[in-house]
Amino acid sequence: MRQQKSLKELIAYCIYKEKETYSHLPPAVIKEIMVDNQEMYQYIQQQYEDHIRPLMVQIVEEGQARGEITDKVSVQAVLLAIQIYMKSSGEMLDGQAAHEDREAFVEELIHIFFYGLCGREPQ
């Protein structure tokens, strides 16, 4: 995560790692471990606050400085969008099973994250 990669590359990497995790552990098991188990949930929340969130703030700020993220949105709004997306990633990745080209489907999800439904990639 600390490598000099674009924001898009980092988000794609996270989605692919999530996909890899879901291929080894069913979403119900992950939910049981990470949400239903209160001790584990609290540990994960603490790790997020202490380590992951500061790193994500840094990544978003660097993305804004490089012009990858518009200055029209705050760091907090970007973090919320990422958090919402990641919380839904299990369902999105489960949905890819119905598609012939699963890799293309993941690319579509990444595109929607970055450019929205009607957005266009920068030229």
Distances in Å between the Cα of 90 and the Cα atoms of 50, 77, 99 are: 24, 21, 15
Q: How far apart (Å, rounded) are the C-alpha atoms in residues 62 and 56?
A: 10
**Residue 65 or residue 23, greater confidence:** 65
pLDDT band per the 50, 70, 90 thresholds, residue 54: very high
pTM as predicted: 0.67
| pLDDT value at residue 96 | 66
Position 96, amino acid: Q
Backbone angles phi, psi at 119, to 5 degrees: -70, 160
Among 61, 46, 47, smallest CA distance to 10 is for 61
Least confident of 4-18, 59-73, 93-107: 93-107
| pLDDT value at residue 83 | 81
| pLDDT value at residue 70 | 84
